[in-house]
Amino acid sequence: MQALWQQFDQLGTEMIVTKAGRRMFPTFQVRISGMDPSAEYVLLMDFIPVDSKRYRYAFHSSSWLVAGRADVAAPSRMHFHPDSPARGAQWMKQTVSFDSLKLTNNLLDDNGHMILNSMHCYLPRFHVVYVDPTPNSHLNAYKNFCSFSFPETRFMAVTAYQNHRITQLKIASNPFAKGFRTTDPQAWPGNPSPLAVWCPPEGRAESQIDKSGEQINCESKTSTRQEGLDPLMMEQCELFHHSKDSMGGTERKGGSSFLAPASCLHLPSFWDRAGSS
């Protein structure tokens, strides 16, 4: 989906939010490598505001303008991929799609949808959490996850499309909008590649090749380890402490899927397993 995301980003991506919840298009998809095939991982997403502004669309100039300060932040949530937790072998064998994720502007939503404010700009974040089977693994939770974000996936949350070019591109490229197409779908790129995101842990760095043929060297990625992790983020990390039940399965500690109000933390882009040197 990377090429399609970039195409939308050039126009200024818009995503519809409704009271009942609306799926994203383009869909957020990733391809992962470098996992331990036998270890378990949890994949999840959240959304952070790009800035502290509210916007309006100027039709005469076909551009977004600042309309004032941002509204009070909507309750922040994390969306767990429905297959989580799963072994690395399963995650790596095919493209991972978050096609069940829905966006809503209903502050009282009880369906687990992602709550966003309309006319605000957001950036999706993708998180990978290693399910550490060792005792007291929650004490090292901050070491067992990594986070990724992609500038081309930012979007404006809207209740109705503002830019007619976005409407046309969505109709032309969304297979579920076939009945609304007025342009030749062959004119649009087909089967765009998913985002290439995975960076292996320290000591296991691998090179990857993206669709453009450019080599991605994980060791050269710019990253900053968060030494003093925010206590609110630490509390969320503890949700990923798994304990084996009597049937040999796993369960998440706590039942909440809520995260403290989102902020632009510099999360680590690599992680070590607890107990590793």
Domains and CATH numbers, the chain: 2-252 (2.60.40.820)
> Is 90 exceeded by the pLDDT of residue 119?
yes
For residue 253, what are the CA distances in angstroms to 9, 235, 237, 267?
A: 38, 11, 10, 22
pLDDT at 252: 39
Arithmetic mean of pLDDT, 85-114: 96
Q: Which amino acid is at 231?
A: P
> Is 70 exceeded by the pLDDT of residue 178?
no
Lowest model confidence (mean pLDDT) among 89-98, 116-125, 198-207: 198-207
pLDDT at 75: 84
Arithmetic mean of pLDDT, 122-136: 94
Q: How confident is the model at residue 137 (pLDDT cuts 50, 70, 90)?
A: confident
- Is the Cβ–Cβ distance between 173 and 188 less than 8 Å? yes
pLDDT at 138: 81
Of all residues in the chain, the percent with pLDDT exceeding 70 is: 64
Report field, pTM of the whole predicted structure over 0.85? no
> Is 80 exceeded by the pLDDT of residue 136?
yes
Q: How confident is the model at residue 262 (pLDDT cuts 50, 70, 90)?
A: very low
The dihedrals phi and psi of 195, each to the nearest 5 degrees, come to -70, 135
Arithmetic mean of pLDDT, 253-277: 35
Q: What confidence tens digit (pLDDT) does each residue in 205-246 have? A: 333 333 333 332 333 333 333 333 344 344 444 444 433 333
Arithmetic mean of pLDDT, 137-157: 91
For residue 110, with 0-12 CB atoms within 10 Å meaning exposed, 13-18 middle and 19 or more buried, which class applies?
exposed
pLDDT at 258: 30
The residue with greater pLDDT, 83 or 199, is 83
Of the candidates 69, 73, 65, the residue with the CA atom closest to the CA atom of residue 52: 69
Q: What confidence tens digit (pLDDT) does each residue in 64-83 have? A: 999 999 999 888 899 999 99
> Is 50 exceeded by the pLDDT of residue 25?
yes
Nearest 10 degrees: Cα torsion 55, 58, 162, 22: 0
pLDDT at 100: 96
Q: Which amino acid is at 39?
A: A
> Is 70 exceeded by the pLDDT of residue 192?
no
- Is the Cβ–Cβ distance between 187 and 172 less than 8 Å? yes
In whole angstroms, give the CA distance from residue 216 to residue 196: 9
For residue 211, with 0-12 CB atoms within 10 Å meaning exposed, 13-18 middle and 19 or more buried, which class applies?
exposed
pLDDT at 199: 43
Mean pLDDT of the chain: 75
243-249: long-range contacts, CB 8 A cutoff, minimum separation 24: 244/133
